[in-house]
Amino acid sequence: MAAALAVSVGWSVAGRAQFDIGRLIKAVTPVSQKAEIKMGKGIAANLLGAASPVADQALQGYVNKIGKWLALQTEKPDLPWRFAILDTDSVNAFAVPGGYVFVTRGMLLLMRDESELAGTLAHEISHVVERHALKTMRKGNWAGVAGDALNAVAEGEGGQEFDKLINVGTEIYSRGLDKKDEFAADVRGAVIAARGGYDPYGLVAMLQSFASINPQDDAVALMFKTHPDPEERMDRLLTYVDENLQKYGAQPNNAERFAQVMRTHVAQYKPVARAARRTEGDGTPDDEKSEAIKTIAPIFSQ
C-alpha cells in the first residue's frame, strides 16, 4: 500500500511539472471533500475521546437546529454538519474538517442568550467553511505533501499513514490555528449570525465574557493558549460590527428560549454521576464542586 502511494505521489508531481511549475512549488492540489470528511471523522473521534457529548437529546437537538440554520447561510450548506455540546468544564469550542462543531458545557454556561451561542457556532462554522484546520496542516508537517497524496491517504482510510494524518490533524487542536484565521472567523461568524437573523453582537458579548476570566483559570488554559487575546478579539470584532453590521443589532437574541433550554440541560446535569466518575481519576476538584452543590441544596429545598 505504501508503495502504491509513493507511486501515485511521484506520478502526480511529474504530471503537473510538465504544465504548471508554480503549482508544483506550492503543491496546492485542493483536499477533496471526501478526504476532508474522512479526516474530520478521525479527528472528531479523538476529540470525543477526550470529552464525550453530553447525553441530552433535547440540548443536542437544540444546538443542531441552530447550527444547521447558520450553516445554511454559508457557501457550504451541504456538508454533513454535526454539532455537539461536550461534557467538560473547560471553556472551548472546536471546528473539525467536514462539518463537526463542538462547544463545551463550560462555555455554554458562560453564555447569556442564544445570540452568543449562535455567534460561537458561526465562528466555528466559518473555520470549517474556510478550511482553516486543513490550511494549518498544510503549513506544518504536511507542507511538502502534494494534495493528491493527502487525498489518497485520507480517502483510502485505515492504515498507518491514515493514523498519522489524523494525529497530525488532532495536534492542531492543542496548538491552535493561525491567529489571523481566528480574527477572520470572528468577523465571518458575526456576518453569518446576522444572515441567520441573530443580533451579531452576541459574539462580541461572548468575547466580553472571555476577556473577564482570570487567565490563570485552568478551564480557559487551552483556549487562551490557542487563540489571540480575547480583549483584542473583542475590540477588533466590535469595530467591524459597528462599521458594517450595526443595523442588525436590533435582531433577536432569543434570551428566553435559551434560558428555557438551559433549564432542560441543567435538569439533565448529573453532578452525582460525575462525582462517581471522578473516583476513577485523580479528581478532588470536581468533588469539591459537587460538595458545593450539596451544601447549597438544602437552602433551596426549604
Rounded Cα distance, 28 and 138, in Å: 9
Q: Which of 41, 123, 132, 138 binds other proteins (CB under 8 A)?
A: 41
If the CB atoms of residues 86 and 165 are measured against other proteins, the closer one turns out to be 86
Q: What is the H or E stretch that residue 292 is in?
A: helix 284-301
Distance CA 156, CA 38 (A): 9
Binding residue for other proteins, selected from 60, 76, 179, 182, defined by CB under 8 A: 60
Part in contact with other proteins (CB under 8 A); list of ranges 2-10, 25-33, 131-139, 217-225? 217-225
Residue 283 interacts with other proteins (CB under 8 A): yes or no? yes
Does 9 bind other proteins (CB under 8 A)? Our answer is no
Taking the C-alpha atoms of residue 66 and residue 297, their distance in angstroms, rounded to an integer, is 33
List the x/- string, 106-145, binding to other proteins by CB under 8 A. Answer: x--xx-xxx-------------------------------
Q: Count of residues binding other proteins (CB under 8 A)?
A: 130
Cell of 6: 509513493
Buried b (16+ CB within 10 A) or exposed e, 217-242: eebbebbbebbeebeebbebbbebbe
* Of the candidate residues 38, 81, 125, 169, the single one contacting other proteins (CB under 8 A): 81
Upper half-sphere CA count for residue 104 (Cβ side, 13 Å): 17
**Does residue 104 contact residue 85 with C-beta atoms inside 8 Å?**
yes
**What residues from 235 to 274 belong to the interface with other proteins (CB under 8 A)?**
235-236, 238, 240-246, 248-255, 257-259, 262-263, 266-267, 269-274
Instruction: Write each residue from 172 to 211 as x if it is in contact with other proteins (CB under 8 A), else as -, in one continuous string.
Output: -xxx-----------xx--x--xxxxxx-x--xx--xx-x
Stretch that binds other proteins, among 12-20, 27-35, 144-152, 220-228 (CB under 8 A): 220-228
Q: What grid cell was written down for 283? A: 479528581
Task: Return d(Cα 106, Cα 53) in angstroms, integer.
Answer: 13
- Ramachandran sector of residue 99 (left: φ over 0; alpha: ψ -120 to 50; beta: rest): left
Least distance (Å) between residue 227 CB and other proteins = 13
We find the least distance from the C-beta atom of residue 91 to other proteins, in angstroms, to be 5
Q: How far is the CB of 155 from other proteins (least distance, A)?
A: 17
Q: Where in 159-178 is the site for other proteins (CB under 8 A)?
A: 166-167, 170-171, 173-175
CA atoms of 107 and 75, how far apart (whole Å): 27
